[in-house]
Amino acid sequence: MKLETHFNSYPSLKAAFWRDIENLSWPHERVCHPVLKLVQGNDERTKRVAGRTNLCCELILMENPAWIKQKAKIVCSNSDLQNISGALGEIRAFGELLAVWRKRVRAGESGSDFRITSNERDIQIEVFTPQYRTKRSRIEYKPVKSTRITSQITECFPFGWPQRRGQDNVQGEAVSKLAAIKQDEHQFAEDGINLLWCDLQDPALWPLGFGRNQFAPLSVFQEQITSGAFWNAFYAQKGTPVFDNLPVGGYGVERPYIMEFPGRFWRNTKLDFVIADISTNKIVFQNPNRNRDVPDWLFQDLHCISAFDLEASWLDWPSSGQLERRVAIALDSIVKYAMAFRMPPR
């Protein structure tokens, strides 16, 4: 099938990228260019991300065509996968913001990526697309051969496999990396409302997706309790146990990682909100420790974001004060679960 035929299924993606993608010079022979992976993907998740990216391109082309053409040039001329993925994340974020706030969204007019203007308070928005930034992201085992087939097991660790035996674990590594994203916060104003948008959709980076269970304090699967990496990165406190797997059946227990630092919302941070886009859902976390008057219209508008996940989000609205209590209960439950299933003492 010709490349243009693939793009014809996504007309707004084609309108934004075709002129530059036609002359694409791509140096990575074994890696598909992220845009080509989007339009050529046959699995349902990639099609869903491509369809949503196409809609975002459509909205941006109507409101700010010069901006998206500039981003398209970066995507098609850059050979750094991190820069390409980051630009695609910005495109998706801008489109999603336009879908709710339309002409109130401004791109590149301040220190942050986007700004939502209002008569009361302006909202600064910074976009981040988490990457594989560690050499410890894969373990490839020796291939097993027979007369007819060859098989090989590869383990993937997006945030790195644990290094300190008996102290680190996989979820702890993820918590550490997620808590550190955009941590210098120079783009934000101390007296403003600041929002971090995390794009976790890239099919090349997340072939299995970024599960909804990562946004809960704890989840259970096949009789094992696991800590949600994204939730703990923002809400856990120093000393909170983080589990890879805590068996509920009474058999062997692996030591958890014990948080050596407070989660992002317990530090001296300017962040008011974090929005995570995982393609199927958009989950919003609010910082319970920021004493800022957030207008009701912002909370109402957050509920209008496409695929907003009310059940997984943590907001201090419409009843003020509920978020602080909810987080405290969750943190207490984590410790009580560790005790209930006999976490071995250190």
pLDDT digits (tens, 9 = 90+) for 100-114: 999 999 997 667 899
Share of the chain above pLDDT 90, in %: 51
pTM for this entry: 0.89
Residues 150 and 97 both lie in one domain: no
Question: Between 302 and 140, whose confidence is greater?
Answer: 302
Question: Between 176 and 109, whose confidence is greater?
Answer: 176
Helix crossing, 11-21 with 44-63: angle to 10°? 80
What is the average pLDDT across 193-216?
86
- DSSP annotation of 314: B
Residues 228 and 293 both lie in one domain: yes
* Cα–Cα distance measured from residue 197 to residue 275, given in angstroms and rounded to the nearest whole number: 5
Residues 144 and 292 both lie in one domain: yes
- Take residue 235 and report the two structure tokens written for it: 């809400």
- Take residue 5 and report the two structure tokens written for it: 């035929």
Q: Give the count of domains, the chain.
A: 2
Tell me the H-state helices in 186-319.
229-235, 296-302
In whole angstroms, how far apart are CA 99 and each of 50, 64, 226, 302? 17, 13, 35, 11
Tell me the H-state helices in the chain.
3-8, 11-21, 34-40, 44-63, 65-77, 81-101, 170-179, 229-235, 296-302, 322-340
**Rg value, the chain, Cα:** 21
Residues 18 and 160 both lie in one domain: no
Q: Would residue 126 count as lying in a domain?
A: no
Q: Would residue 123 count as lying in a domain?
A: no
* Cα–Cα distance measured from residue 127 to residue 182, given in angstroms and rounded to the nearest whole number: 9
Residues 238 and 285 both lie in one domain: yes
Q: What is the mean pLDDT of the chain?
A: 86
For residues 241 and 311, the answer to whether their CB atoms sit within 8 Å is no
Q: Quote the pLDDT of residue 88.
A: 93
Q: Quote the pLDDT of residue 333.
A: 96
Residues 159 and 92 both lie in one domain: no
Residues 157 and 302 both lie in one domain: yes
Residues 57 and 146 both lie in one domain: no
25-65 pLDDT, tens digit per residue, is 777 777 788 888 888 888 888 899 999 999 999 999 999 99
As a residue count, the chain comes to 346
Burial class (CB in 10 A: 0-12, 13-18, 19+), 218: middle
Q: Quote the pLDDT of residue 253.
A: 64
Residue recorded with tokens 């990496």:
229
Q: Would residue 148 count as lying in a domain?
A: yes
Side-chain-side CA neighbours of 295 within 13 Å: the count stands at: 12
Share of the chain above pLDDT 70, in %: 90
Q: Quote the pLDDT of residue 346.
A: 47
Q: Quote the pLDDT of residue 58.
A: 97
Which residues, 6 or more positions from 85, have their beta carbon under 8 angstroms from its beta carbon? Answer: 34, 129, 131, 202, 204, 205
Residues 154 and 96 both lie in one domain: no
Please give the residue range of the domain that contains residue 160: 138-180+210-340
Question: Between 72 and 157, whose confidence is greater?
Answer: 72
278-315 pLDDT, tens digit per residue, is 989 999 999 999 877 899 999 999 999 999 999 999 99
Q: Would residue 115 count as lying in a domain?
A: no
Q: Quote the pLDDT of residue 30.
A: 73
